[in-house]
Structure 1
Amino acid sequence: MTTLAPPLPRTAFRPLLPVLLAATGVLYLWGLGASGWANAYYSAAAQAGAASWKALLFGATDAAGGITVDKTPASVWVMGLSARIFGVHSWSILVPQALMGVATVWLLYAAVKRVAGEAAALLAGIVLALTPVAVLMFRFNNPDALLVLLLTAGAYATVRAIEDANRRGRVWWLVLAGACVGFGFLTKMLQAFLVLPAFGLAWLVGARRERLLGLAVAAGAVIVSAGWWVLLVTLWPAADRPYIGGSQHNSVLELTFGYNGFGRLTGDEVGSVGGGGTGGVWGRLFGAEMAGGIAWLLPAAVVLLAGGLWATWRRGPVWTSLLLWGGWLVVTAVVFSLMDGIIHAYYTVALAPALAGVLGIGVVALWRKGFTGVAVLSGAVALTAMETYLLLESLVLLVLGLAAAALLLLVERSLAVAALAVVIALAGPAAYSLQTAAATHSGALPSAGPSVGPPVGNMNFGGMGGLLDAPTPGADLVALLRQGDHTWAAATVGSNNAAGYQLGSGKPVLAVGGFNGTDPSPTLAQFQEYVRRGQIHWFIGDGAMSSTATGGSDAGARIAEWVAENFEAQQVSGVAVYDLS
């Protein structure tokens, strides 16, 4: 197998892998509990899964199984199982995410090392570990941490599959690659499939045997690993399972292809709270909301992808791996830039492994190309210095970066100068990553960087992280919710509202209307029947979020109106509470 090793003894960087993984673990775990429940929406689902196997299977937001989260539930499975074993608290929910981050860095290192050597692998691992949006999401409990781990595992398996096919004519590694992408679908639905063009291209270019068979095997693995849960939900009697959150007709297929599918591209998402608008090709990634998480090294990655492909033109697994990581980066970046539906800044964590893989392989490939390659590296360092200045307005980092770029050209192939250039190029994202790790992040829309504080340079710290925070119930309300033995201790409009009361009391709370309050579950008639049967003790008003501007159901609003008209409100811990019993 052709490799691109740096001009150093082969084992020179090997002892640094444990150091990298340990440092990544410290960065992702230190002070993790300060973020509390982080995204209470998914923490409540984990709490429900810890109490009920059925709620865990479907990803229900409460143990009684009223409605599911608006994603496929693989990430809830991980958190729910952890909560079952270690108890329901912030550490049992957040530590698995941090460990996923360490595992992702290790898998990226392993994948790059097989084709480009240990220096490239170490650089790729460092870049991934210090990407601010990666630090954010591997310290948070959105599904993105598991998604990135699975896709990186799929990339590693694809690299191994190409190698194994060329040596032995076998395609079993492709089964694992397909299964990883399939379980990525069970984590965040169609977003997982954005890597498939890159994986398929790398296989077709890199494998010399069993090309069509390999594609068929991989496709079958994707379908089976992604489809079994969809089939199970479709065949399960609707009356005997939770309502599928995010759909208007209790359909997982509607959720897959509508709200979480093509609607994200077109903006036609029934029941959503608005689209994201477009930013032009790549433009959105450099905008104020997303730039702090991912943009620091994007210009350099584009340059190094093109330069690396030129430097290794059709040179075995190195060139193939650049196609794999570069294809992942380009396809995902273009889709994120042009999609017209809901998109949030933290989605860009899906770019981090691909960006890091391109940088690691590209730097070593161009370094070995001689002066011409080093000139390309110098340009990449200069671009990074300018991007860092645009983000932080740090004149010091700009001057140091441009000086490092010049030294690369003036001092012929000096490893000391190269190392200095890498350190300076990573200074901006590293500092921002440390700020991200030091801050607490909660709510539905976390952003990289400090949670509070005035803007620095052109960065908007904190973004919209607190827009959809769950409420923290007062002691009197908690005591009230713990009274009696009902199917649901309470009901309230919107999943984040329900999550706060449920996590505070430890009792199931029905999220009327699902995440946005726009799902038709329960209907007014169903809710009235629950009340007649004595299944709901309290209804909590105030702060309800329900909008029909994009065609969503008004059932939540109608239920809130019916309760207000037929029951007397009392103020408990500052909120309106109705006794339905």
Structure 2
Amino acid sequence: MIKRLQKFDIYLFFILILSAILNIYHIWKDDTVNAYYTATVTSMMQSWHNFFFASFDPAGYVTVDKPPLAFWLQTISAKIFGLHGWSVILPQALAGIGSVYLIYRLVKPTFGQVAARLAALIMACTPIAVAVSRTNNIDSLLVFILLLATGMMFKAVKQQKVLWAIASFAMIGVGFNTKMLQAYMIVPALVLFYIIAYRTTWKKKLLSLMISMIVLLGVSATWSIAVDLTSKDKRPYMGSSQTNSALELAFGYNGLQRLTGQQSMGGGSSEGKGQPPSQQGAQKNENNSSAVPQPPTDANQNNTDNSNQSSSQDRPSMQGPPSNSYDATPPEMPGGNGDGPPSGVGGKMGNGSGMFGTGTKGPLRLFQSELSDQISWLLPFALFGTVGIFLSTVFERRRLNTKQKETLFWVAWLVPAAVFFSVAGFFHHYYLIMLAPPIAVLAGAGWVAMTRLFQTETGIKKWLFPVAILGTTAFEIYILSTFTNTIGYGLSIAVGILGIGTVLALLFTKGKEKLKQLISLVAILGMLITPLYWASTPLLYGGNSVLPEAGPQLASSSRSMSSQVNEKLISYLEKNNTGEEFLFGTTDATTASPYIIKTGKAVMALGGFSGSDNILTLSEFKELVKEGKIKYFYISGMRGGSSDILTWIQKNGKKVATSKWQNTPSSTTNQQTSRSNNQQSDQNSQSNGGMGRMGGMGSGTLYELSVD
């Protein structure tokens, strides 16, 4: 017991407490979080069939557009604690804290306790890592799984046991079933590390790697193959795929198309011709974004918290849509995306800065203002630190030593991921969490290496640490300059004084090594002030559960909104339900999600997430109506053009009088409130790139269906 207490690292304890506060505090304020995913959990809780296939709706009509592992964990959490916003966030929040701990455990044996503490602290303070971990988006869980795989590979090398190496690749397969090909980003690093670090003959290495790759592919494809081998009439349609195939979804829509930025057509009309149902004739704003079909909501509901708008002089927030609402996909990017809205929603759109405000493609993309404040604060320091690690260690008999080998592993994680984000045409800001572990490790271990060089070497090696401090300080001031209209110049001045002051103190402090070490520590902690503040902003100001990001712009941007449903509509549909399987149908998951969460009943998202999946033909839909499985269908008034099913509904369906299912303001006060809310919603719509009206009367039509 005494030995265990002696080994207990009090600094790690406080770092984990910090991480827990950043990742968990106030998550109970988020109602339904990313409603597309929460609706999926709602459905998965209702049957093993829905649970296995990750069905978006309780009827098992269409799946979510991701593999199921993360949603399995969220469903288990919701089963234990009840379905709440915080209960579906909890697995990701715990994964974020776990990643901080794993970083410490991975770094300490080779680089020492101080490096491990700093790496863990940097990971805990990474803004985008915190922002993602506070939502039910699945990237933080993926990073945790990849760090587990890293630990297994390190153990394989240290213990010289090939089974651990094979297990490492198997864990990447688990990651594949969390977010498909994104998990493969670290495969090059694992292969390189195994080749350079595992002590055996080349023949045995190649054989082991071959077995590992087979295991990797086997574990990766297990669920997808099981889905594809299941008769299509006995499982949900694979959401956002073109061919109703999980494997096609993995390597197409969730694979290579992320790199190219070209999204799949998904579906077309119900007969496979024409434009996607939810997009035809859609209204466009100046950024070429399509208007969004919205769920009907009560006219007198004040469902927004949008009193503050983001400053046009600062980098616009990627908050874009409300936290539980989704954009339909514009015609130029059909297919939709369960991760969030398309071009034209939030961020810097229409100005050459990337599809989602992610900057201009090129080698310096991670240093551009669109991305740098989310992940890159200490990237320059990590790069200097990498050089410092190699300069502070010597080759052992012309071979790489352990520190150099592990450094190469983290570099091999960082570089391919950085290359992807530098050239990719389609990703969201929160994907950048993939860069957090290598930056944290290289910066933490690099600090230790560079401080030793400064204390013991002369010339270029000695100057590496001061240059790293000044370079990183200058870069942080550059990032902060984008936000001066929001936060002023105070933080920039403080960062500059700390950076320059610590360098001068180091240079003019002679013969006092302990004092130099303290000053060096102040330098790295000073560089962590801004990312820590950024990481705190989702907690302080409220974040966005659809497109997570961090930064002071959250304080002045339109706040996330809770999902709103039309209670009168629900009452009408439930009262008039005569045993139909679906409460009602609509074009897409945007509209369906909050109603699934609220009622726990099946709502048909005819075209899947974005409304563009080609799931049913007209004859199949008519057969469902004839069999009494669906009786009501809601079509947004913002839809134009035609598709076979929607045209048939409009031609043959009986319009339900709005007075039966839609509240009408009964007083002047209510009318004034409604107009005020609608005007505010229209302003938000314009600032969010043409999102369409949120709340208000709703402009759609409810149809009662029948087949003679």
Q: With the length of structure 2 as denominator, give the TM-score of the two structures.
A: 0.73
Between Structure 1 and Structure 2, whose CA radius of gyration is higher?
2
TM-superposition CA deviations, 1:279-304 (whole Å, max 9, x none): 33343323343222112111222222
**Distance verdict in 2 for CA 1:546–1:322, change over 3 Å:** farther
Map 1:268-417 to 2 at 5 A.
Answer: 268-271=262-265, 273=330, 274=333, 276=354, 279-314=360-395, 315-340=400-425, 342-369=426-453, 370-371=456-457, 373=461, 375-393=463-481, 394-411=492-509, 413=513, 414-417=516-519
CA–CA distance in structure 2, aligned partners of residues 415 and 545 of structure 1: 65
2:564 maps to 472
Cα distance, 1:266 vs. partner?
A: 2.0
Per-residue CA deviation, residues 200-258 of structure 1 (Å, 9 max, x unaligned), is 11111111125324323422331222121121112111111111111111112221221
Task: Select the residue among 133, 137, 144 that pairs with 2:139.
Answer: 144
Are residues 563 and 322 of structure 1, via their aligned partners in 2, closer, same or farther at CA, if it must alter by over 3 Å?
A: same
Equivalent residue of 1:578, what SS?
strand
Q: Deviations over 1:396-440 (max 9, x none)?
A: 212222222333343355121011111110001001111122233
Q: Does 1:436 align with 2:436?
A: no
Q: Secondary structure at the match of 2:571?
A: helix
Whether the aligned pair in 1 keeps the contact of 2:103 and 2:147 (CA below 8 Å) is: yes
Q: How many residues align?
A: 549
Matched residues in 2 for 1:187 and 1:445: separation? 18
Using the alignment, how far apart are the partners of 1:385 and 1:490 within structure 2?
56
Where do 1:12-31 residues align within 5 Å?
14-31=9-26
Change (3 A) 1:261 1:404: same
Q: CA deviation at 1:185?
A: 0.7
Cross-structure match for 1:83: 78
Question: Is the CA contact 2:128–2:548 (under 8 Å) kept in the aligned structure 1?
Answer: no
Q: Secondary structure, in 3 states, of the residue corresponding to 1:510?
A: strand
SS of the residue 1:392 aligns to: helix
Out of 422-431 and 355-364, give the one that drifted further: 355-364
From 514, 528, 546, the counterpart of 2:622: 528
Displacement of 1:374: 5.2
Match for residue 516 of structure 1 among 607, 610, 617: 610
The CA distance in 2 between the partners of 1:544 and 1:503, in whole Å, is: 24
Identity among equivalent pairs (%): 33
Q: Contact 2:132–2:549 (CA<8 Å) still a contact in 1?
A: no
SS in 2 for 1:51: coil
Aligned partner (choices 119, 130, 136) of residue 135 of structure 1: 130
On the 8 A contact 2:543/2:554 being kept in 1, the answer is no
User: 2:376 aligns to what SS in structure 1?
Assistant: helix
Distance in 2 of aligned mates of 1:492 and 1:503:
15
The one-letter code of the counterpart of 2:498 is: L
1:156 matched to 2:151? The reply is: yes
Q: Distance in 1 between matches of 2:565 and 2:97?
A: 35
TM-score normalised to structure 1 length:
0.88
What letter corresponds to residue 357 of structure 1 in structure 2?
V
Q: 1:451-530 residue pairs with structure 2 within 5 A?
A: 452-454=554-556, 471-483=563-575, 484=577, 485-530=579-624
Alignment correspondent of 1:100: 95
**Hey, what's the Cα distance between the residues in 1 that align with 2:588 and 2:366?**
30
Inter-partner Cα distance in structure 1 for 2:574 and 2:464: 65
Equivalent residue number for residue 230 of structure 1:
224
Conservation of the 8 A alpha-carbon contact between 1:148 and 1:350: yes
Alignment partners' CA distance in 1, 2:508 and 2:159: 43
| Maintained 8 Å contact 2:361/2:424 | no
Residues 127/215 of structure 1: CA separation in 2 closer, same or farther (3 Å cut): same
Contact 2:31–2:562 (Cα < 8 Å) also in 1: no
Find 1:204's aligned residue among 195, 206, 218.
Answer: 195
Find the aligned partners of 2:256 and 2:462 in 1 and give their Cα distance. Answer: 43
> Runs of at least 4 residues of structure 1 off by over 6 A?
10-13, 543-547
Distance in 2, matches of 1:490 and 1:282, equals: 49
TM-superposed CA distance for 1:481, in Å, is 4.4
Query: Structure 1 residues 221, 450: closer, same or farther in 2, change over 3 A?
Result: farther
Residue by residue, what CA displacement relative to the aligned partner does 1:522-541 show, whole Å, maximum 9, x if unpaired? 33332222222121242222
Alpha-carbon shift at residue 121 of structure 1 (Å)? 0.8
Does structure 1 conserve the Cα–Cα contact (< 8 Å) formed by 2:225 and 2:247?
no
With CA pairs under 8 Å and 6+ residues apart, which has the higher RCO, 1 or 2?
Answer: 2
- Is the alpha carbon distance of 1:236 and 1:345 closer, same or farther for their aligned partners in structure 2, counting shifts above 3 Å? same
Task: Name the amino acid aligned to 2:384.
Answer: V
Query: Does the 8 A contact of 2:32 with 2:562 survive in 1?
Result: no
Amino acid at match of 2:590: N
How far residue 56 of structure 1 moved from its aligned partner, in angstroms, is: 1.5
CA offsets, 1:528-558, max 9 Å, x none?
22222121242222277899xxxxxx8xx54
Matched, 1:183 2:268: no
| Residue aligned with 2:610, SS | coil
Q: SS of the counterpart of 2:236?
A: coil
Query: For the structure 1 residues 523 and 122, does the alpha-carbon distance in structure 2 shift closer, same or farther, using more than 3 Å as the test?
Result: farther
Aligned-pair CA distance for 1:35: 2.2
Deviations 1:475-503 (A, max 9, x none): 21232344434322122112222112211
Structure 2 unaligned regions, length at least 5: 266-328, 334-342, 344-353, 482-491, 663-696
- Measured against aligned partners, the alpha-carbon deviations of 1:334-391 in whole angstroms (never above 9, x if no partner) come to 1111012x21111101111111111122222233333455532222222221122122
Contact 1:248-1:520 at 8 Å conserved across structures = yes
On the 8 A contact 1:493/1:513 being kept in 2, the answer is yes
Partner SS state of residue 513, structure 1: coil
